[in-house]
Amino acid sequence: MEWTESGRIISVRGHGETSAIVEILTRDHGRHAGLVRGGRSRSMRPVLQPGNRVQAHWRARLDEHLGNFQIEAEDLSAGALMEDPLALSGLNAACAVAVAGLPEREAHPAVADGFEVLVSSLDESGVWPAIYVQWEVGLLADLGYGLDLRKCAATGHTDDLVYVSPRTGRAVSSGAGEPYKDKLLALPGFMTGQGALRSGDVQAGLILTGYFLERRVLWPSDRVLPEARLRMIDRLAAAGMV
């Protein structure tokens, strides 16, 4: 059993004294793990960093085995983020959410493509937090838990959508939701294309996606949102960017 594909590293953990178990997010093979022999060596450590794009050749005797990776560097962009703690926190959060939320070895090309867009935007501090929110929206949709933000669940209207029902994940307009606003989740305009990004929108978006990630994706398998995501939110708040 073997394949070769490019992908982004999303997790690295030591194995024994010299090796590492690496998880890669690819278009065709999804979140896939493999053993890299010598992965903890001085020459491999700069390559085996979350966020780096590599070409991976995976081989195993049987499909259900962990298998071995042979790794070649393609884009070592993670190193450039070491000088930007805020962007690095976004990268770490996305990697951790991908590991927690995506099933192993199940292809989700739209999620992988969105991850590429997010990584490529991390050097634009005013842009990537909103892209991160939209990436989580896409992750939910690709896992079958998509939010329906096209029209009001109560009236069918497509304008003035400012809430989301926590029960159904459907949008609700201002007028229809007013009597129940304390029980609804806020829907920032940038998520529906009905307004520019405003102060507080990223925080509202992260609360919204986090709510559904927890309840629909993570809690059924006794998991919670990763600490890396919480640290990202704290850093964004400290920088006044939520």
Return the structure tokens found at 160. 């003035």
The two beta strands, 2-15 and 19-26, are antiparallel
Whole-angstrom distance, CA of residue 67 vs CA of residue 24: 13
Mean pLDDT of the chain: 96
Mean per-residue pLDDT, 23-44: 97
Strand-pair partners of 53? 8, 75
- % of the chain beyond a pLDDT of 70: 100
* Other beta carbons within 10 Å of 79: 12
* Other beta carbons within 10 Å of 190: 18
Whole-angstrom distance, CA of residue 10 vs CA of residue 97: 9
The residue to which tokens 């085995």 are assigned = 65
Residue of 198, 215, 193 whose CA lies nearest to 149: 193
**Each residue's pLDDT tens digit, 115-154:** 999 999 999 999 999 999 999 999 999 999 999 999 999 9
Helical axes 227-238 vs 85-101, angle rounded to 10°: 150
Return the structure tokens found at 94. 């996305």
Q: Please give the order of strands across the beta sheet that includes 185-186.
A: 171-173, 161-164, 185-186
Asked if the model's pLDDT at residue 195 lies above 90, the reply is: no
> Higher confidence at residue 154 or residue 194?
154
Asked if the model's pLDDT at residue 79 lies above 90, the reply is: no
Helical axes 109-121 vs 128-142, angle rounded to 10°: 170
Q: What is the pLDDT of residue 30?
A: 98
Length of the chain: 242
Report whether 32 contacts 104 (CB < 8 A). Answer: yes
Q: How many CA atoms lie within 13 A of 75 on its CB side?
A: 11
Whole-angstrom distance, CA of residue 143 vs CA of residue 136: 11
Residue of 81, 60, 82, 78 whose CA lies nearest to 69: 60
**Each residue's pLDDT tens digit, 93-108:** 999 999 999 999 999 9
CA 91 to chain centre: 9
